[in-house]
Structure 1
């Protein structure tokens, strides 16, 4: 897939941007917006899906649709050579929606989700108790803004 990512042209990138904005657009709508034939859009979609560049389609909910859902970012510092063990433990944590390895201050950034403050507190306790985690810092997301 790495080779495929480097071979994306402007039309591929525009198609992906349109899908990110609204993946329910019809092939005809996409073709019209890209000013290309429907067949071109279909072929590119098949190629992007087959190569794994597009790995799936999903539903994005507005934050207001889940008003009581708590979301947060957690920065995680790992002790010494515990990265593999910590990663394995984090992958099993149900409160973690996404997990990213990073450079700089944090070894991992995790997006946490919980249905209540109590559930959020329990998730924080479970994560902080994982052997090999040296430090964490968590920020609750208050609002989301479209870029």
Structure 2
């Protein structure tokens, strides 16, 4: 993936309903280029689907989790690109210490969580993961 692919993915993450014409104009390229790149990213499994983001309080029964991820060698950029395309990943953070990345996951049910964990574990450059289900949040006064 090059810079244009990353910019395209960023725009799609912000608004997956953007038209090809709108994306092309924002990127300064032709509609054909945008179409070709989207198709290539879908075929490569980088784009695995399109979704709607909702306010967390609108779906109180969703399952949230935090996944700590260890990445082999210099593969972090590629892993980040793949994770950002996963519909279950709602946040992704670079960390230090034992783990390289911290992914925030959100799914509708336990079956979707299982599928999301399987997708992440299949990424070749990921050497280890540890997942914790989000049970409750506390607010500071």
Q: Which category describes the TM-score, using the shorter chain as reference length? A: 0.5 to 0.7
Name the counterpart of 1:76: 69
**Aligned with residue 144 of structure 1, among 112, 123, 137:** 137
User: Are the structure 2 counterparts of residues 82 and 61 from structure 1 closer, same or farther at C-alpha, using a change threshold of 3 Å?
Assistant: closer
Structure 1's consecutive aligned runs of 4 or more residues displaced over 3 angstroms after TM superposition are 59-62
Task: Name structure 2 gaps, 5 residues minimum.
Answer: 1-53
SS of 2:79 mapped into structure 1? helix
- Once the two structures are superposed, the pairs formed by residues 1-147 of structure 1 within 5 Å of their partners are 61-62=56-57, 65-147=58-140
The Cα RMSD (Å) is 1.5
Q: CA-to-partner distance for each residue in 1:42-67, whole Å, 9 max, x for gaps?
A: xxxxxxxxxxxxxxxxx8544xx423
Q: CA-to-partner distance for each residue in 1:45-99, whole Å, 9 max, x for gaps?
A: xxxxxxxxxxxxxx8544xx42320000000000111111111111111100000
Q: CA-to-partner distance for each residue in 1:88-117, whole Å, 9 max, x for gaps?
A: 111111100000001111100010000010
Normalising by structure 1, we get a TM-score of 0.56
Q: What is the count of residue pairs matched by the alignment?
A: 87
Name the counterpart of 1:25: none
Name the counterpart of 1:28: none
Normalising by structure 2, we get a TM-score of 0.58
Structure showing greater radius of gyration is: 1
Task: Name structure 1 gaps, 5 residues minimum.
Answer: 1-58
- d(CA) in 2 for partners of 1:106 and 1:113? 20
SS of 1:146 mapped into structure 2? coil
